[in-house]
Amino acid sequence: MSYTDILFVALFVGVCVLSRLLRRWPAIREWTIIAFSLLIVASWGLFSLALLLAVAAVNFAAAVAAAPAPQGRRRAILIGAIVFDLAALGFFKYGGFIAANADSIFDSKLSVPALGIPLAISFYTFHLISYLVDGVRRKIPPLPLRQYLFYLCFFPHLIAGPIVRTWQLPSQLGRVRLIGNDMLFGVHYFVLGFFLKAVVANNLAQSIDPYWVDGAAGLSAADRWVIAFLYYCQIYSDFAGYSLMALGMARLLGYRLPANFRAPMLAGTMQEFWRRWHITLSRWLRDYLYISMGGNRLGRQRAIFNILVTMLLGGLWHGAGWSFIAWGAMQGVGLAAERVLGLNRKPEGLLRRAPWWITTQLWITIAWVFFRAPDMAGALHFVGGMLRFDHWSAFDVQGGLILPLLIAGGAVLHHLSPLCIAKLPRRRLGLFLGTATGVLLMLDLVVLSPNKVFIYFKF
């Protein structure tokens, strides 16, 4: 059941009404939301539900057992639980990839059952590691069962984020919340996210997916750059759309989740890009991986090594394939180069900022090819065509790409909208957001949307 399905929207409205009626009884309200969250997972397959509950049970038991234990034993219990989580993630997500590469290199004849990737395993593994590491560091006490299950299974963030930290959501539980403006902003975020996903991302996917499969051979360099840019708009609209829907659904239920995107196409450096793109993931990688390896405390060379390792693992987290590793490597190389050259600080002034912005966005656009291409060979072939300037013509763009470029304008306008809102008088903000929400709602209802699963659901 996808969050853009009519059935889900109808069920969610019912849950919102029921949640409102149960506001005076927070415990019953939270158990109701937990049950609905598990129902969503079950709609994608009972195996995914069973694995989620099994992993959740192991980690809950480990946290409870570790709480009264001495420091050394507590650390061993929680590290053992983290190893279990990573082993489960590795088996289901990377088992086939490891076996295939081992067989090609060593002729090992390894075989892994084709079980598929269980729904949301990457995201709830990160949530559990955050919970356990914070337990090792004694930042939080063990959560009671209801708060623990709510934190882990809350359906807006369960499947594809945003990645919520243990101090962000449980503190909102167990009490009566005043709705205030949550209802208005919740509707706005949900409608806007639905528009980005259903109207922009789905129609872009419908238009450019064939080019990634078998249509790249006859493309000019200009065509390839346009397609890469369109995928940039597609994946932004898809994932930012999901994240906005998640924030909206949480607001409508009376909870707040952290923002996940902040106009990444405006980023003038790679460091700034990762402060604007998938913000909760970049913070997680920084706090639990980069800083744990020493961060920048051990000198420049070690900091560069830590950056490269962090981004390589970040790329591998997205998918079991060499093209994802290459994508992560490009992110790491870009961040490391900025650190070496002293370009990681945001330049002042439009004229100084423009060249850095162009270089950053071109590098990011090329990297998206490795993220989207079906395999490493396809990505290299596509990028090679992008860089063949003897086949370049500014006007040599296929007519079939004109309409997708117009559709991509929705993603571009969403990047520019905060700049416009910042110039509005505060008294007119409500009218502007209300009008924008109404227009987007009409587009959601009128514009035909092909049925496409959220991109990050498969991660």
Positions annotated as catalytic residues are 318
What six digits make up the tokens of 343?
């370009």
From the list 54, 80, 45, the residue with the least C-alpha distance to 66 is: 80
What six digits make up the tokens of 320?
């079991």
What six digits make up the tokens of 204?
């872009």
Question: For residues 285 and 315, is the Cβ–Cβ distance under 8 A?
Answer: no
Contacting residues for 63 by C-beta, under 8 A, at least 6 apart: 78, 81, 131, 132, 135, 142, 143, 148
Distances (CA, A) of 75 to 62, 103, 187: 10, 36, 43
Q: In angstroms, rounded to a whole number, what is the distance separating the alpha carbons of residues 210 and 228?
A: 13
- How many CB atoms are located within 10 Å of the residue 209 CB? 15
Question: For residues 41 and 49, is the Cβ–Cβ distance under 8 A?
Answer: yes
Q: In angstroms, rounded to a whole number, what is the distance separating the alpha carbons of residues 84 and 77?
A: 11
In the numeric block, the tokens 């061993």 are attached to 76
- How many CB atoms are located within 10 Å of the residue 310 CB? 24
Q: In angstroms, rounded to a whole number, what is the distance separating the alpha carbons of residues 431 and 454?
A: 31
Q: In angstroms, rounded to a whole number, what is the distance separating the alpha carbons of residues 67 and 77?
A: 10
Q: Which long-range contacts (CB under 8 A, 24 or more apart) does 289-296 make?
A: 289/313
DSSP structure string for 1-21: --TTSHHHHHHHHHHHHHHHH
Contacting residues for 379 by C-beta, under 8 A, at least 6 apart: 323, 326, 369, 370, 372, 373
